[in-house]
Structure 1
Amino acid sequence: MEIKIALPSKGRISDPAVKLLSKAGIGLKDTVNRRLFSATFDQQINVMFTRASDIPEFVADGAADLGMTGLDLIREKEVRVEILEDLGFGKSKLVLAAPEDSDINQLSDVKEGSIVATEFPHLTEKYLETNGIPVKIVQLSGSTEIAPFIGVSDLISDLTSTGTTLKMNHLKIVETILKSSVHLIANPESYQEKKDKIEQIRTGIRGVLDAEGKKLVMMNVDEEVLDEVKKAMPGMSGPTVSQVLSDNRVVAVHAVVDEHEVFQVVNRLKKIGARDILVVPIERII
Structure 2
Amino acid sequence: MPIKLAVPNKGRLNERSLEMLKRAGLEVETGSDRLLFASVKNGNFSILFLRAQDIVRFVQTGAVDAGITGWDLVLENGNDVELVKEMGFGRCRLSVAVPAASGIKTVADVPNGSRVATSFPNMTKKFFEEQGKEVEIAVISGAAEVMPRMGVADFITDLVSSGSTLKSNNLQEIAVIAESQAVLIASKNLDEEQLKELQELASALESVEIAEHKKYLMADVPVDSLAEVRSFLPGIDGPTVMNIAGRDDVVAIHVVVDKSQIYSTVNKLKKLGASGILIVPIDRMVP
Q: TM-score, normalised by structure 1?
A: 0.90
Partners of 2:194 and 2:259 in 1: CA distance:
36
Is the 2:30–2:37 contact (alpha carbons within 8 Å) kept by the matching residues of 1?
no
TM-aligned CA distance change 1:69 to 1:30, over 3 Å:
closer
Counterpart for residue 255 of structure 1: 255
Q: Quick check: 184-193 or 113-122, which moved more? A: 184-193
- Does residue 80 (structure 1) correspond to residue 80 (structure 2)? The answer is yes
Partners of 1:8 and 1:196 in 2: CA distance:
23
Counterpart for residue 157 of structure 1: 157
Partners of 1:25 and 1:181 in 2: CA distance:
23
Is the 2:84–2:199 contact (alpha carbons within 8 Å) kept by the matching residues of 1?
no
The residue type paired with residue 25 of structure 2 is G
Counterpart for residue 64 of structure 1: 64
TM-aligned CA distance change 1:188 to 1:249, over 3 Å:
farther
Is the 1:72–1:178 contact (alpha carbons within 8 Å) kept by the matching residues of 2?
yes
Q: Quick check: 200-209 or 67-76, which moved more? A: 200-209
- Give the 3-state SS of the residue equivalent to 1:260 in structure 2: helix
Partners of 2:162 and 2:221 in 1: CA distance:
47
Counterpart for residue 138 of structure 1: 138
Counterpart for residue 12 of structure 1: 12
- Give the 3-state SS of the residue equivalent to 2:17 in structure 1: helix
Deviation at 1:231, TM superposition (A): 0.2
Is the 2:26–2:43 contact (alpha carbons within 8 Å) kept by the matching residues of 1?
no
Deviations 1:84-109 (A, max 9, x none): 22222222221111123212122221
Deviation at 1:281, TM superposition (A): 1.4
Partners of 2:59 and 2:155 in 1: CA distance:
32
Is the 1:57–1:79 contact (alpha carbons within 8 Å) kept by the matching residues of 2?
no
Deviation at 1:223, TM superposition (A): 4.2
The residue type paired with residue 258 of structure 1 is D
Q: Quick check: 232-241 or 178-187, which moved more? A: 232-241
Deviation at 1:250, TM superposition (A): 4.6
Q: Which consecutive unaligned segments of at least 5 residues does structure 2 have?
A: none
Deviation at 1:285, TM superposition (A): 0.7
The residue type paired with residue 280 of structure 1 is V
Partners of 2:73 and 2:125 in 1: CA distance:
15
Partners of 1:60 and 1:67 in 2: CA distance:
10
TM-aligned CA distance change 1:225 to 1:119, over 3 Å:
same
Counterpart for residue 166 of structure 1: 166
Partners of 1:212 and 1:94 in 2: CA distance:
26
Identity of aligned residues (%): 40
Deviation at 1:222, TM superposition (A): 4.4
Deviation at 1:120, TM superposition (A): 0.4
Deviations 1:182-207 (A, max 9, x none): 11112233264412311221122112
TM-aligned CA distance change 1:168 to 1:249, over 3 Å:
closer
Task: Note the aligned Cα RMSD (angstroms).
Answer: 2.2
Is the 1:220–1:276 contact (alpha carbons within 8 Å) kept by the matching residues of 2?
yes
Is the 2:68–2:185 contact (alpha carbons within 8 Å) kept by the matching residues of 1?
yes
> In the TM superposition, what are the counterparts of 1:203-282 in structure 2 within 5 Å?
203-246=203-246, 248=248, 250-282=250-282
Number of residue-to-residue matches in the alignment: 286
Q: Quick check: 97-106 or 160-169, which moved more? A: 160-169
Partners of 2:10 and 2:256 in 1: CA distance:
35
Is the 1:210–1:285 contact (alpha carbons within 8 Å) kept by the matching residues of 2?
yes
The residue type paired with residue 177 of structure 1 is I
Q: Quick check: 220-229 or 68-77, which moved more? A: 220-229
Counterpart for residue 183 of structure 1: 183
Counterpart for residue 96 of structure 1: 96
Partners of 1:35 and 1:188 in 2: CA distance:
27
Counterpart for residue 55 of structure 1: 55
- Give the 3-state SS of the residue equivalent to 1:209 in structure 2: helix
Partners of 1:168 and 1:249 in 2: CA distance:
61
Deviation at 1:172, TM superposition (A): 2.3
Is the 1:232–1:269 contact (alpha carbons within 8 Å) kept by the matching residues of 2?
no
- Give the 3-state SS of the residue equivalent to 1:13 in structure 2: helix
Counterpart for residue 29 of structure 1: 29
> In the TM superposition, what are the counterparts of 1:96-135 in structure 2 within 5 Å?
96-135=96-135
Deviation at 1:257, TM superposition (A): 0.8
Partners of 1:219 and 1:191 in 2: CA distance:
48
Partners of 1:223 and 1:108 in 2: CA distance:
67
Q: Which consecutive unaligned segments of at least 5 residues does structure 1 have?
A: none
Partners of 1:59 and 1:21 in 2: CA distance:
19
Is the 1:65–1:191 contact (alpha carbons within 8 Å) kept by the matching residues of 2?
no
Partners of 1:214 and 1:75 in 2: CA distance:
32
Partners of 2:75 and 2:110 in 1: CA distance:
23
